[in-house]
Structure 1
Amino acid sequence: MDEGATSVELDRAHVFHSWSAQGSLTPLAVAGGRGSEVWDHDGRRYLDLSSQLVNVNIGHCHPAVVAAIQEQAAVLPTVSPAHAALVRGRAAQAVLRHAPPGMAKVFFTNGGADANENAIRMARVHTGRDKVVSTYRSYHGNTGAAVVATGDWRRVPNEYARGHVHVFGPYPYRSEFWASTPQEEAERAVHHLERVIQAEGPESVAAILLETVPGTAGVLVPPPGYLAGVREVADRYGVLLVLDEVMAGFGRTGAWFALDHWGVRPDLVTFAKGVNSGYVPVGGVIVSEEVAATFEDRVFPGGLTYSGHPLAMASIVAAVEAMEQEGVVLNAARVGADVLGPGLARLAAEHPCVGEVRGLGVFWAVELVTDRATREPVGAGVMGRVRTGLLERGMLAFLVENRIHVVPPCVVTDAEVHRALEALDAVLTDIDATIDEETS
């Protein structure tokens, strides 16, 4: 039996997968990767339009990051969080170089979920309040409070944490507010948020937790004025603003942090994924001076055995430095503005099954519909054909509900984007024909 078949056999026999019914899985066996591509054990190459889970921002197997992990493993492979370690200080320094003004410290975690978990803990202790307001179209992770802060279906079987309230955020294409312009959508979404806070009792609300750009929920780029309005509401009621940059941060939107596009300063920022492209599990909370001051003489009631793990810290230092030196964030911005965004817009104009295209940098969603007038989403059968069609054309896709999330690594080249657009064009042509047959 070859290695690919063995990989799948062992996986099916022994590995329990997340968010899945175990009996119907047919995983692709990935053997290796470099840059924006991965390959299987037969040597077939795939353009990674998913960046795995929207985290391989610097690309697969970047030599500087791999070398940094190897070198650190030979010197100090692990150390208690209570000790000082040079690599940990350098990693925090690297993160803070790109954080908003007034951010003081970094609390390192094992990933994005526990980053949000600890941001919620900090907000509650700092304010002395309990409730956390987040949106229905969101994903914040799969730990106790983070999954309840999440708005999508994954919250429902896991509602064990206390003090969580949900609101609708802006989504102009499918507005909950009967808005006809982005300005109306922003104003009405902010008004809705404020009214919920008022109804819940502002003195009970510790934090507003938002993905700066909701990712898995649909790459919902906030309309102008929305985040500034949220900041004003938070300030009005003494509520902390926590921006979740786990998916949107470190180049994904063509900026170091997505919040840079709107110039909004949060009280806490959570990150993970793109900070080191997931080479070693890591996340963190960037803490403002005001919140950090709360814990100067007060014990922070939280901790993790692997907080600031040396291998993860080395990968952060190397990844951030490589992104700085190689212009990776600038590449993501340029590719999005000049190649990927215009290319997806052309596909939207040419294919009736595309309801809307939206995004920034290398963070895009193509929303598929059966009818542009009614905006009825396509079903699971159509999306299954999309996945198969893209895979046959050498594209690893990230599909959610009725959307193709086009999220390649930040190092993707123009030529690779053109390959992806050609594959998408062919698949969308097939989907147009399928919908025509079903509706005729």
Structure 2
Amino acid sequence: MDLLSSEITNQDVIELDKHVFHSWSVQESATPIAIANGQGCTMWDFDGKEYLDFSSQLVNTNIGHQHPKVIEALKNQADTLATIAPATANFTRGMAAKRILERAPASFKKVFFTNAGADANENAIRMARQFTGRDKVLSAYRSYHGNTGSAIAATGDFRRVPNEYSRGHVHFFNPYLYRTEFNSTSEHEECERALAHLKRVIECEGPNSIAAIILETIPGTAGFLLPPEGYLQGVRDIATQHGIQLIFDEVMVGFGRTGKWFAFEHFNVTPDLVTFAKGVNSGYVPVGGVIVSEAICEFFKSEFFMGGLTYSGHPLAMSTIVAAIDAMEEEGIIHYADEIGNSLLGPSLMALYDQRSVIGNIRGKGMFWAVELVEDKSTKEPLSNAKMGLIKQKLTERGLLTFIVNNRIHVTPPLIIKPNEIKHGVAIIDEVLAEFD
């Protein structure tokens, strides 16, 4: 029985899946759906049921499923050169780096390729530590940076606690006005107080001991927390003042997700290092990387870089980067995501706020939106895990694939989603939430 066989059923695939150890889950409670194929924003299971992908899986299929140009590039690369050691110059890797640098600020000169976002963050931290000769790394409590050693230690959420094996990590509170840690009543206050808090943490930790500050430009898994005006520029100024390297984690928001090639373009701030991953090639092949500033490149001209991976710049992954970026450019996908995301997707979700008492807050940009659900709008008590589980179940039953974290529905469809698909997906969300009013 092969994958194309019409005899395969959902139950066949789910039975086989029992051999798989699942990530971030209690194994006995893992109840995956079985997906057979996809096209654009639509997916089908083995029994023929249709789903609308309203999450881009884990916020990565930016150009949709099975984009023909990327699939063709992958096949051609497999026919030409399927693998090669990273010390060897390979044409496709050079072209991928060139494509990325052409869209990054002029201050960036090289790209170091990794296998995913976690090891991109690992290596950005490694570069900052070597470059500065310092050890400590500051990051936000509301953050997720990956599950490898330094990446999970830099992460702020509960998954960090049993995994704190890496040294030198310090956390601070980033701004989030809806659930402010600073008793703020406005975005301006939240910005000022968050920056004052960060300055105080740096003073207490010792500025000359800090190698890097790593921030998701717009925190994703933590809740799509749009930084208030002036915050990222304030962090940039603080980092510059103390010779601290500023790392922006763009694994989730890079390459079109917010309507720009990079999310930091919205805020007119340039970091020292940028990490990226799944969005660059829509996750068709595992890949990630670090975009490296000229100053750090100059340093490593005569210094040995203490990092490397067997699959750094793997040609199959590189071919998908080249094809995906070319497709985004040729088809105007970034501009489309900006226009349709801010004129239709965002407003359609915002329109639900007054209609549904269960909605506490809606926020986002481009094709990157979060609907935060509460038991009570006045108290802001998060909707219970039990109710969120029911909501996830009901959305899936109605054919909508969503990315739910804690008390939030993260709405992140492929950037190519059509207006009628947006309306259909939002209508399903509204229909389900109506049951919880």
Q: Where does 1:37-436 land on structure 2 (aligned, <5 Å)?
A: 37-432=42-437
User: Are the counterparts in 2 of residues 252 and 410 from structure 1 also a CA contact under 8 Å?
Assistant: yes
User: Aligned letter for 1:9?
Assistant: E
Distance 2:274 2:176 in 1: 22
Distance 1:370 1:336 in 2: 28
Alignment match of 2:9 (pick from 3, 19, 39): 3
Query: How many equivalent pairs are there?
Result: 431
Distance 2:238 2:92 in 1: 39
User: Are the counterparts in 2 of residues 101 and 265 from structure 1 also a CA contact under 8 Å?
Assistant: no
CA drift at 1:2: 3.7
CA drift at 1:335: 1.5
Distance 1:419 1:98 in 2: 33
SS at match of 1:46: strand
SS at match of 2:432: helix
User: Are the counterparts in 2 of residues 134 and 167 from structure 1 also a CA contact under 8 Å?
Assistant: yes
CA drift at 1:37: 1.2
- Residue in 2 aligned with 1:435? none
Of all paired residues, the percent bearing the same amino acid is 59
Please list the CA deviations of residues 187-207 of structure 1 after superposition, one character each: whole Å capped at 9, or x if unmatched: 111111111011000000000
User: Aligned letter for 1:322?
Assistant: A
CA drift at 1:101: 2.4
- Residue in 2 aligned with 1:437? none
CA drift at 1:393: 1.5
User: Aligned letter for 2:11?
Assistant: A
CA drift at 1:100: 1.9
User: Aligned letter for 1:39?
Assistant: W
CA drift at 1:4: 1.7
Please list the CA deviations of residues 29-78 of structure 1 after superposition, one character each: whole Å capped at 9, or x if unmatched: 00001111111001111111111111000100000000000000000000
User: Aligned letter for 1:35?
Assistant: G
CA drift at 1:3: 3.0
User: Aligned letter for 2:46?
Assistant: H
Distance 1:32 1:70 in 2: 18
- Residue in 1 aligned with 2:41? 36
User: Aligned letter for 2:310?
Assistant: T
CA drift at 1:26: 1.2
TM-score by length of 2: 0.98
Please list the CA deviations of residues 348-399 of structure 1 after superposition, one character each: whole Å capped at 9, or x if unmatched: 1211110000000110000001111110001011101211121122100110
- Residue in 2 aligned with 1:25? 30
SS at match of 2:425: helix
CA drift at 1:334: 1.0
Q: Which runs of 5+ in 1 are unaligned?
A: 433-440
User: Aligned letter for 1:3?
Assistant: T
Q: Which runs of 5+ in 2 are unaligned?
A: 1-6
Distance 1:98 1:165 in 2: 32
SS at match of 1:224: coil
Please list the CA deviations of residues 159-212 of structure 1 after superposition, one character each: whole Å capped at 9, or x if unmatched: 000000000000010000111110111111111111101100000000000000
Distance 2:108 2:394 in 1: 45
Q: Which is worse superposed, 107-116 or 17-26?
A: 17-26
CA drift at 1:337: 1.1
- Taking only aligned residues, the RMSD between alpha carbons, in angstroms, comes to 0.7
Distance 1:52 1:178 in 2: 35
Distance 1:21 1:385 in 2: 18
Distance 1:188 1:56 in 2: 36
TM-score by length of 1: 0.97
User: Are the counterparts in 2 of residues 130 and 163 from structure 1 also a CA contact under 8 Å?
Assistant: yes
CA drift at 1:224: 0.4
